Structure 1
Amino acid sequence: MTTAFRAVLAFCLLAGFYVLVGVIVAAAVALDVLLIIDFRVTLVKFAVVTTLAAGALIRALIMVSRRQEGEQPGVAVTREHEPVLWQTVEDLARRVRTAPPDEIRLVPEVNAAVAEETRFLGLKAVRRRMYVGLPLMQTLTVDEMRAVLGHELGHYSGAHTRLGAPVYRGRVSLLATVQGLDRHPFVQRLFTWYAKLYLRVSQAVSRRQELEADAFAVAIGGRQAMAEALRKIHYTAAAWDLYTGGYLSMAGAGGFRPAAVFGGFQSLLNDPSRQAELAELAARPEETSPYDSHPSLAERLAALERLPEPELVPDPRPALTLLRDADVAAGAVEESLWTPEALTVLRPVSWDELVSKGLYEVRNAEALRDLAVAGARVVGASRPYVDAAFEAIARGRQGELEERLRELGWEPGEGLLARVLGAALEGLLISHGQARWTLSWSGPARLLYDDGEEVALMEYAAAVAADSRAVGGLRAWLGDQGVRHDYVPSEAEQVAVPAS
């Protein structure tokens, strides 16, 4: 089945979707009119169900039609800002015989993409945009970047973006319709079946278009450059997911954000342990589905091998050389990551400081505060000092202490007191300058003493929580660390301790 035939079939199915909606609405109207003319009790149930389903369908379509395009990601760069990048894109556009984009945006994604605003079901183009991921440029060479850009421009040349806009809107409409029919299971099953059929056909078109665009990429950059670019995209996407989930997610902790988002990502990419881990992750076989929008990496690499190799002059320079000043560009894209409020409220700090102070706020500060407050409430102290919690344990009142912790918002569960106590003890060491959370690009942050030894208190905390006789040793050890018996965490001073 050719791509053109599949595209026509997708459009026919999209048209059929609206016809199906029209049939149900018409049936509802016909039943309602019939009831008015000739009322029959046996028709009431069918009329009510059909009318409600028709109403749900119309409501879903109205909601979809009112959706506005969201704010564009990243930052737009003009020809004056980035003359080399623009010249490269325009030269490549001429080579694939298409018009260049009207706008190029640098985005914080491991991706390059093109989009086209269209009218009249894709027959008229209004505005073209190209998105170039800065994290991708950190890993590719100029050769590889040219191949990737050629691939994206190939989508323009093959009219893929014009076909893609109405096809995408069809997907949105179908999925929104299915979700809006949750109270009408029979009609929902009908549209679910139709949506699956439409997605299988339209996504097959998308996969074929990706292979066609790869052919443009090879003509521009060569087989080797495009194949290596695909492998690096696969690898870098895994690295970016790891980075955003394990590191960038700490932004906001303690009122801080990283001052160098892409600098941190480069540090993770350069870490030998992470390189081995990511290489293993990227080498795992991909799971494929008929609903995938892209062919698998293996399928794309195999297809590249069947294409002729053009004669090219290699350019192994880093892709970032296409930018006038990579640091300035990175700063602008980083700023686009944050909301105006975050830019105002969160102070930019180094990754070392973000990890050190941010992890304390996330992991230790709340535990230290709540343990002091809970202890004071159990023993009837007027101030929330940490030793009050130790006193509660010494008196064998662990159950009451856990109950107060739950009142303060801690999730109930086995070992609750031990978990809070362990995190609080870590917090005491940090607040008294005895330990510090330390950044590691090879793995999770580690809590270390000044001499580099790792702090490991969780087992000890569990032992203290289970045995009131261990409190004396705990107090002596904390005294050796410079912790006063009447120490009140600054975070706990604002929490009221009701009189017993």
Structure 2
Amino acid sequence: MTTAFRAVLAFALLAGFYILVALIVATAIFFDVLLLVDFHANTIKFAIVLTLAAGALVRALVMVSRRRAGDQPGVPVGREHEPVLWQTVEDLAQRVRTAPPHEIRLVAEVNAAVSEDTRFLGLKATRRRMFIGLPLLQTLTVDELRAVLGHELGHYSGAHTRLGAPVYRGRVSLIATVQGLGNHPFIQRLFTWYAKLYLRLSQAVSRKQELEADQFAVSIGGRQAMAGALRKIHATALGWDVYVSNYLSLTGAGGARPASVFGGFHALMSDPERQAEIAKQAEQPEEVSPYDSHPSLADRLAAIEQLPEPQHVPDPRSALTLLVDPNVAVQAVEQSMWTQQALAELRPVPWEELVAHGMYAGRNADALNDLAVAGQRVMGASRPYLDAAFEAIARGRQAELADKLRELGWSPSETLLAGVLGQAIEAVLIQLGEAKWTLSWSGPARLLFDDGEEVALSEYAAQVAADPAAVAGLRQWLGSHGMRHDYIPVQELATS
């Protein structure tokens, strides 16, 4: 499929969308005029429906046209800052017979990409940018990174990026249009059908372009380098997802943020148990869809194996060697990840401290506070004493206690009281300095006593929640750890 044909296809589909909008608007105008010329009661329904739908269409398109691209992500690096990286990119651009980018930006993503600012529906390029994910520099060898960058520059060489602007614009317009037609189901179904057709065709073109760009990558770095890069990127992306959802998501707890984002990611990816977990996950078959923008990893690897092997000198050094000072680059990209407000208000702390704060805030703080409040309401206490909740259990009023917890927002379940009780007891031990949430790069954080023994209270909490007679033993045990009978959660004192 030639570049010219791709352009015709993209523009034709985009033009067809606007023609469809114009037809509906014209039809609405026709019925409105018809009502003015020759009023009929049967016509008014069609006129109202079409006019409202046309208004929704025009409103959606106006909103899309007013959108402006935000600031570019990451950190720009000039030739004077990273001469080796720039020289590498410029040499590769010459190899694939295209102009180098005007700008290189390091980003906090497991990805490399290129973009072009264009005019005249993508026919004229004005400014080129290349984005290089810092996690890739941490993970890939020089050979592998050169292959990846060759792939991205191959998009320039094939004029793929120029077509990206109209394709993306059409995608955004179609999605906004479909969403804006919620009150007009028939017309919404029409545009949904067209959107699916557009996405299937445009994404098929994108997948073809990716395979073409892989040919450039192999011609530069060889089959082994490109195949290795794809496998590493796939596994690194899986690891980054784990890292973001289970670790970076703790940001903000206790007014803190991680002092070393990429240091933590390196630690996670270096952990043997986590490596085995990610490797196993990477072996799972990928789900494929006609709406995917990239071919599956298996398809790309199979296509690469069919390409000729070029002659080249291997370079197995870490890709970080292309940077003058990796530590400076890491710090700059980490700074770009945070808003000015986050930089001003969140303290940079070690991961151990952030995990301790984050786990307590996410698992224990609400349980401790809400159980005390529920106990206060059941027993009519003057303050939300935790012991009031214990007294409610001792008097067999567990059902009332559970009802109050549900009123406070806890989801109903048969084990609600036992679960909240266990988390609240954990919180007491943490507040008393008897236990602490401990960082683990291998898996979930663990709550440990000072001697390293894991705190496991779920069975004990279930026993206490079910047996009023067990409350006396709980009180005695917590008292031995330093809890007073009139203990009030810190959160309540701070907000009173």
The answer on 1:138 being equivalent to 2:145 is: no
- Report the alpha carbon displacement of residue 33 of structure 1 after superposing the two structures with TM: 1.4
- Report the alpha carbon displacement of residue 196 of structure 1 after superposing the two structures with TM: 1.3
Contact 2:258/2:351, CA 8 A, preserved across alignment: yes
- Give, in whole Å, the separation in 1 of the partners of 2:52 and 2:91: 56
- Give, in whole Å, the separation in 2 of the partners of 1:360 and 1:287: 36
Contact 1:256/1:358, CA 8 A, preserved across alignment: no
The equivalent of 2:393 in structure 1 is: 393
The equivalent of 1:277 in structure 2 is: 277
- Give, in whole Å, the separation in 2 of the partners of 1:109 and 1:77: 16
- Give, in whole Å, the separation in 1 of the partners of 2:187 and 2:404: 50
- Give, in whole Å, the separation in 1 of the partners of 2:371 and 2:98: 66
What TM-score, normalized to structure 1? 0.96
**Range that drifts further, 55-64 or 360-369:** 360-369
Matches within 5 A, 1:87-486: 87-486=87-486
- Post-superposition CA distance 1:245-273 (Å, at most 9, x none): 11111111121111111111111111111
- Post-superposition CA distance 1:139-191 (Å, at most 9, x none): 10000001101110110111100011111111111111111111111111111
Contact 2:10/2:163, CA 8 A, preserved across alignment: no
Q: Which amino acid aligns with 1:62?
A: V
Identity of aligned residues (%): 74
- Give, in whole Å, the separation in 2 of the partners of 1:23 and 1:468: 73
Contact 1:6/1:201, CA 8 A, preserved across alignment: no
The equivalent of 1:60 in structure 2 is: 60
- Post-superposition CA distance 1:30-76 (Å, at most 9, x none): 22112211222222222222211211111111111011102221111
The equivalent of 1:23 in structure 2 is: 23
Contact 1:110/1:134, CA 8 A, preserved across alignment: yes
- Give, in whole Å, the separation in 2 of the partners of 1:494 and 1:412: 28
- Give, in whole Å, the separation in 2 of the partners of 1:216 and 1:406: 60
- Post-superposition CA distance 1:417-437 (Å, at most 9, x none): 212111111111111221111
**Contiguous gaps of at least 5 residues in structure 2:** none
Q: Which amino acid aligns with 2:153?
A: L
- Give, in whole Å, the separation in 1 of the partners of 2:397 and 2:495: 21
- Report the alpha carbon displacement of residue 373 of structure 1 after superposing the two structures with TM: 3.0
Contact 1:257/1:348, CA 8 A, preserved across alignment: yes
- Report the alpha carbon displacement of residue 383 of structure 1 after superposing the two structures with TM: 3.4
- Give, in whole Å, the separation in 1 of the partners of 2:51 and 2:400: 57
4+ residue segments displaced more than 6 Å:
none
- Post-superposition CA distance 1:320-372 (Å, at most 9, x none): 11111111111111111111111111111111111122212221122222222
Q: Which amino acid aligns with 2:210?
A: E
Contact 2:148/2:229, CA 8 A, preserved across alignment: yes
Q: Which amino acid aligns with 1:490?
A: V
Matched residues, number: 496
Q: Which amino acid aligns with 1:319?
A: A
Distance change >3 Å, CA 373–CA 192, structure 1 → 2: closer
Matches within 5 A, 1:34-49: 34-49=34-49
- Give, in whole Å, the separation in 2 of the partners of 1:153 and 1:119: 20
- Give, in whole Å, the separation in 2 of the partners of 1:218 and 1:249: 37
The equivalent of 2:490 in structure 1 is: 490
**Contiguous gaps of at least 5 residues in structure 1:** none
- Report the alpha carbon displacement of residue 377 of structure 1 after superposing the two structures with TM: 3.5
Contact 1:155/1:209, CA 8 A, preserved across alignment: yes
- Give, in whole Å, the separation in 2 of the partners of 1:483 and 1:346: 31
- Report the alpha carbon displacement of residue 14 of structure 1 after superposing the two structures with TM: 1.3
- Give, in whole Å, the separation in 1 of the partners of 2:252 and 2:113: 30
- Post-superposition CA distance 1:197-224 (Å, at most 9, x none): 1111111111111111111111111111
Q: Which amino acid aligns with 2:471?
A: V
Contact 1:135/1:262, CA 8 A, preserved across alignment: yes
Contact 2:82/2:324, CA 8 A, preserved across alignment: yes
SS at match of 2:122: coil
- Report the alpha carbon displacement of residue 494 of structure 1 after superposing the two structures with TM: 4.1
**Range that drifts further, 175-184 or 113-122:** 175-184
- Give, in whole Å, the separation in 1 of the partners of 2:123 and 2:139: 37
- Give, in whole Å, the separation in 1 of the partners of 2:288 and 2:397: 56
Distance change >3 Å, CA 494–CA 357, structure 1 → 2: closer
**Range that drifts further, 314-323 or 405-414:** 405-414
SS at match of 1:465: helix
Q: Which amino acid aligns with 2:425?
A: L
Contact 1:3/1:205, CA 8 A, preserved across alignment: no
- Give, in whole Å, the separation in 1 of the partners of 2:409 and 2:271: 38
What TM-score, normalized to structure 2? 0.97
Contact 1:372/1:492, CA 8 A, preserved across alignment: no
- Give, in whole Å, the separation in 2 of the partners of 1:227 and 1:186: 47
- Give, in whole Å, the separation in 2 of the partners of 1:39 and 1:362: 64
- Report the alpha carbon displacement of residue 413 of structure 1 after superposing the two structures with TM: 3.1
Distance change >3 Å, CA 494–CA 251, structure 1 → 2: closer
Q: Which amino acid aligns with 2:284?
A: R
- Give, in whole Å, the separation in 2 of the partners of 1:495 and 1:393: 26
- Give, in whole Å, the separation in 1 of the partners of 2:26 and 2:377: 67
- Give, in whole Å, the separation in 2 of the partners of 1:223 and 1:2: 25
- Give, in whole Å, the separation in 1 of the partners of 2:196 and 2:374: 54
- Report the alpha carbon displacement of residue 495 of structure 1 after superposing the two structures with TM: 5.4
SS at match of 1:129: strand
Distance change >3 Å, CA 43–CA 384, structure 1 → 2: closer
- Give, in whole Å, the separation in 2 of the partners of 1:333 and 1:160: 28
**Range that drifts further, 447-456 or 36-45:** 36-45
Contact 1:375/1:384, CA 8 A, preserved across alignment: yes
- Report the alpha carbon displacement of residue 397 of structure 1 after superposing the two structures with TM: 2.3
**How large is the Cα RMSD of the aligned pairs?**
1.5
Contact 2:3/2:158, CA 8 A, preserved across alignment: no
Q: Which amino acid aligns with 1:230?
A: L
- Give, in whole Å, the separation in 2 of the partners of 1:408 and 1:298: 49
SS at match of 1:233: helix
Q: Which amino acid aligns with 1:382?
A: S
- Give, in whole Å, the separation in 2 of the partners of 1:7 and 1:192: 23
- Give, in whole Å, the separation in 2 of the partners of 1:175 and 1:244: 27
Q: Which amino acid aligns with 1:466?
A: A
- Report the alpha carbon displacement of residue 4 of structure 1 after superposing the two structures with TM: 4.3
